[in-house]
Structures are given as structure tokens and as C-alpha cells.
């Protein structure tokens, strides 16, 4: 198997979702409040399905379990990464995620959740919540109890092309008018801190998880230190956003013909804009905006020819 695995994936309806997944990417969305597209996923809450060639119809979960050689015979019990696109039509809840140790103990063995965001698009003046101002756990408890959200929460202005690394323990939230590609550990564990007192169609507020949230929040907050690097070689401009204990994330801007050699057991690719061809072992396939595919371990070299921008991730070394 020396072909890329192209994937069909699952949409998630969210109280804060909208229509940008249709309007920006052309997806056929299930509702006017579609918040998430789990573009490359082997999580049981929304697994991707292969749509081409020998493995057509197989889920990524099934491939991970039945065809480990495609992934370099990994040691992990579950596929470790999850790529999403999120449409924050309105503010997401203010939330925090546990690390691996806490999630294993309290969430039935689920992975923790360190994640990162690439801002695809946002409204002028858009911002997000990133971190908090409490200097101690006692102050964090007091401010959440008393609803002192303006004192507690740090807001950061954003623009298209920005990148944020969000380690477990970081209080955070996407805000209104933001379209994001998220790379994260394969986890669906979220502890809500504050949800703006919103109610669902039945008049019910969504559950908060303040006890667990306070347990896992890093105090005091520290912004993640990034060493973002950009290098141009021929037709490829490669930006390295992060290379962490959980994943590496890159951006490929290609204008012409670019040759690649695999540097990881497998590679996840999301095409954000443009169109091109992907050639592996003499077999050529068109790729375009809104495509998501996985280059398995059997793909050691490939060529992309055209004009595209992609967000790319690989597992931790």
C-alpha cells in the first residue's frame, strides 16, 4: 500500500456552531449549527472512514488495530492524534483539559488533551481566551465561585495565520467569528469552567465541571514558548509551528513542484487552500482545498505539484 488514505469524517453539532464549514470549505453540513469536523480521527466518538482503494470503508480505528504496519507498528494502544476544523460562530465555553495521568485515572483511561490552533480565518477584532490571571489555586477558586470572569480570564487578539499551543491545564476558549484547524491528542475530555449562562433548546444550562477543572488547571498560567521557524526550499515554504512531546505541526505552502521524504512513521495532511497533484511511486492523485489524507508508513517519498497550503502533523518522535 503506497497510496495516501483519503478520509471521510464526522460532523459534530454544537450550540456555538454555524455554517462556515459549508461556506468556506464547501462541505455538506448536517445543520446550521455545525461546530466541528473531525477531519482525521480514530476516536470512537467520531471515527474517519477511508474512501479510496484497498481499505475503502474501513475506519481509522480498524486500520490502527488490524494493519499496524501502515503506522510503523506503533506501541500506542490507540491512534494518538486528532485533526479537527472548528467553526466558532459564537463563543465556546471557557474550558480546560487534563493531562494523561489525570485522564487515565478519572476518565476511564482516556488520553489527556494537549492541543493547538491554526487560525484559518476570523472576523476583524476577533480574540480568544488563553490563560488566566489567578496567582494561586485559592484565588482561582474564589474568582470562579464569585463569577469574576473579567478579572480571571486573559483575552488575546488574533488574526488569520496565528498559531497557539494549548498544553493540558491551560484555561482557554475560542470566541465568536473564528475558524480554526485544531491538532490535538485523541481525546474528547473537556472540563467546562464557564458557559456564559447559555441554555439549550429545552432551557437547560450545560453542565460545568469546576471541581475537575480546578484540579487540573495550571496555576499560575504560563504562555507556551514557541520557536516558530520558516524555511523555503525551491517551491516549498515550510513553517514549523511546534515539535512537542505529543505531536509536531507544520504548514506547507507549495507553489510549483516539491519533493518530500518521510521523517515520521506517518503524516496527516489537511489542505486548506488551492489544488495540486500528489504523486507516490508514479501514481498521481489530485488534491484540493478541504481534502484530508494520511500518508502511511509505506509512503517513503512523495511529490506535490501545484499551488496549495496545507497544515501537516506527525506523531511525537
- Per annotation, catalytic residue among 154, 192, 198, 206: 192
| SS3 readout for the chain | CCCCEEEECEEEEEEEEECHHHHCCCCCCCCCCEEEEEEECCCCCCCCEECCHHHCCCEHHHHHHHCHHHHCCCCCCCCCEEEEEEEECCCCCEEECCCHHHHHHHCCCCCCCCEEEEEEEECCCCEEEEEECCCCHHHHHHHHHCCCHHHHEEEEECCCCCEEEECCCCCEEECCCEEEEEEEECCCCCEEEECCCCECCCCCECCCCHHHHHHHCCCCCCCCCCCCEEEEECCEEEEEEEECCCEEEEEEEEEEEEEEECCCCCEEEEEEEEEEEEEECCEEEEEECCCEEEECCCCCEEEEEEEEEEEEEEECC
Q: Is 192 a catalytic residue?
A: yes
**Are 50 and 58 spatial neighbours (Cβ–Cβ below 8 Å)?**
yes
Does 115 belong to an annotated binding site? Answer: yes
172 marked as part of a ligand binding site: yes
* φ and ψ of 53, to 5 deg: 60, -145
Q: How far apart are CA 179 and CA 122, in angstroms?
A: 6
Asked if residues 163 and 118 have their Cβ atoms less than 8 Å apart, the reply is: yes
Binding-site annotation: residue ranges:
97, 115, 172
Active site residues: 192
Binding-site residues for Zn(2+), in ranges, read 97, 115, 172
Amino acid at each position: 500500500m503506497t497510496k495516501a488514505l483519503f478520509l471521510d469524517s464526522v460532523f459534530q453539532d454544537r450550540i456555538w456552531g454555524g455554517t462556515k464549514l459549508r461556506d468556506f470549505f464547501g462541505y455538506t453540513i448536517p445543520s446550521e449549527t455545525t461546530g466541528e469536523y473531525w477531519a482525521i480521527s480514530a476516536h470512537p466518538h467520531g471515527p474517519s472512514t477511508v474512501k479510496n482503494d484497498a481499505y475503502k470503508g474501513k475506519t481509522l480505528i480498524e486500520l490502527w488495530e488490524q494493519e499496524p504496519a501502515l503506522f510503523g507498528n506503533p506501541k500506542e494502544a490507540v491512534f494518538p492524534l486528532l485533526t479537527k476544523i472548528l467553526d466558532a460562530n459564537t463563543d465556546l465555553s471557557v474550558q480546560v483539559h487534563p493531562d494523561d495521568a489525570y485522564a487515565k485515572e478519572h476518565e476511564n483511561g482516556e488520553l489527556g488533551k494537549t492541543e493547538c490552533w491554526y487560525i484559518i480565518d476570523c472576523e476583524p477584532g476577533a480574540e480568544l481566551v488563553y490563560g488566566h490571571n489567578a496567582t494561586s489555586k485559592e484565588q482561582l477558586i474564589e474568582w470562579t465561585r464569585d463569577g469574576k470572569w473579567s478579572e480571571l480570564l486573559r483575552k488575546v487578539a488574533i488574526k488569520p495565520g496565528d498559531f497557539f499551543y494549548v498544553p493540558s491545564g491551560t484555561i482557554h476558549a475560542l470566541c465568536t467569528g473564528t475558524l480554526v484547524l485544531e491538532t490535538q491528542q485523541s481525546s474528547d475530555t473537556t472540563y467546562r469552567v464557564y458557559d456564559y449562562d447559555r441554555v439549550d433548546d429545552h432551557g437547560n444550562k450545560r453542565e460545568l465541571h469546576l471541581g475537575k477543572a480546578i484540579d487540573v488547571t495550571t496555576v499560575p498560567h504560563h504562555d507556551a514558548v514557541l520557536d516558530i521557524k520558516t524555511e523555503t526550499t525551491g517551491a516549498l515554504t515550510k513553517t514549523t509551528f511546534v515539535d512537542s512531546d505529543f505531536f509536531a505541526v507544520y504548514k506547507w505552502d507549495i507553489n510549483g513542484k516539491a519533493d518530500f521524504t518521510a521523517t515520521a512513521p506517518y503524516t496527516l495532511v489537511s489542505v486548506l487552500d488551492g489544488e495540486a497533484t500528489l504523486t507516490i511511486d508514479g501514481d498521481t492523485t489530485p488534491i484540493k482545498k478541504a481534502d484530508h489524507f494520511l500518508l502511511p508508513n509505506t509512503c517513503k517519498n512523495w511529490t506535490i505539484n501545484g499551488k496549495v497550503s496545507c497544515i501537516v502533523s506527525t506523531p511525537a518522535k
